[in-house]
Structure 1
C-alpha cells in the first residue's frame, strides 16, 4: 500500500500539486475535507476532451465544478510522441522522469475553473476535491494525464492548417442584429 493515497505515481502527483502547491507558506484548512470527499467517493467526474465536469455531493449539499485544462502545445506533443514508443500500454514513473529530464513539462495547467458553490474563490473545497479525485484516476491510468491535456485528440487529428483554436465565446459586437435572426428587412 502506498504511503499517500493520492498521487502515488509521478503522473498523479502532478495533480496533487494543483491542490497542494509547493510554494504555500501556511497549511490550507480545506485540504483534509477535500481529501475526505474524494476518498469517500463524493466526486463524480465526466471528462470531455480537456474539460472536466465534477458533481460533488456532501451531505445535503451538491455542487458542480468545471475545470478546463490548457492543451499541450504541438511542439510538446511531438516531443512526447518521439519519446514514448507507439506500442506502450502503460506509462510508468520512469517515462515521466525521462520526459522531465528532456525538459518536457507534462504537469497540468488549469485554463479555466468554475464552481457553483457560494465560496466564490478560485480554490474552493470542491475544486480541491476534484483535483484529488482526478489524481486517483490518473494513478490508476496515467494515460489520462496526457489525454486531459489533449494528447490523443491532437495526435489523431494532426491538422496543421488550423493553427488557431476555435474561440470559446462570440463577442456580442460581432453579431449583426439585422441578419442574425434571419429576418429580412
Structure 2
C-alpha cells in the first residue's frame, strides 16, 4: 500500500478506516467515486472545532456535508498528555507508542449529515469528506487530535458542560419565553 494516496501515514489511515472499516465483508461501490472526488479537489473543507462542513461539487451537482467528530474522553486526553512528549511532532512512531500504551487516537464520528438525496449516514459525499480529511491529516497529523478536541480540553480544568443540540419543549417556561425582557 505504499502508493496509497489517502492514509499513507498511520494518522491518516485512521480516517480512511472510517470509510473502509476492516469489518466490512463486501466492497462499498461508492468508494471509488468518493476517492475520485477527493483526489480531484472536489471537496472544500471548513473546519471549526470538532465540526467539519464541506462543500462538494461534482458535475452540475452540489452538496453540503456536515461531519461532527466525537470528543476524546477526559481519561484519553490525560493518557495522551502523558504519552505524547511533544504534540507538535506527531510521527508514525508516536502513533505506534499510543497504541502500545493502549490508547487509540482513531476518531469516532458523532454525527454526519448531507444535503443530497441519498438520506443515509454514509453517502458518497460523506465518504469523499473522509478521504479529504485523511489527506489533510496525512499532511498535518496534529489535525487528527484537533478534530477530537485534544487541544481544547485540559486535564487540570473542569469538564466543560456540553451544550445540548436541541431544546426540549417541556423545559421552556411559556410565561418567561413570551414576555419581553426588561
Deviations 1:54-79 (A, max 9, x none): 11110110001101111001111111
Where does structure 1 lack aligned partners over 5 or more consecutive residues?
Answer: none
Partner of 1:109: 108
Distance in structure 2 (CA, Å) of the matches to 1:97 and 1:3: 21
Partner of 1:144: 143
1:90 Cα deviation after fit: 2.1
TM-score between both structures, scaled by the size of structure 1 = 0.92
Deviations 1:8-67 (A, max 9, x none): 000000000001011111111100000000000000111111110011110110001101
1:89 Cα deviation after fit: 2.8
Q: Which residues of 2 match residues 116-131 of structure 1 at below 5 A? A: 116-131=115-130
Deviating above 6 A after TM superposition, structure 1's stretches of 4 or more consecutive aligned residues are none
TM-score between both structures, scaled by the size of structure 2 = 0.94
Partner of 1:58: 58
Deviations 1:103-161 (A, max 9, x none): 00110101111000000011100000000000000000000000000001113x8531x
What is the DSSP-based 3-state SS (H/G/I as helix, E as strand, rest coil) of the residue aligned with 1:68?
Answer: strand
What is the DSSP-based 3-state SS (H/G/I as helix, E as strand, rest coil) of the residue aligned with 2:65?
Answer: strand
Deviates more, 1:70-79 or 1:174-183: 174-183
Distance in structure 2 (CA, Å) of the matches to 1:152 and 1:11: 16
Distance in structure 1 (CA, Å) of the matches to 2:68 and 2:38: 19
Residues 42 and 81 (structure 1 numbering): CA distance in 2 closer, same or farther, change over 3 Å? same
- Give the alignment partner of residue 173 of structure 1, picking from 170, 173, 176: 170
Matching of residue 159 in structure 1 with residue 160 in structure 2: no
Q: Which residues of 2 match residues 59-74 of structure 1 at below 5 A? A: 59-74=59-74
Distance in structure 1 (CA, Å) of the matches to 2:157 and 2:166: 22
Partner of 1:39: 39
Where does structure 2 lack aligned partners over 5 or more consecutive residues?
Answer: none
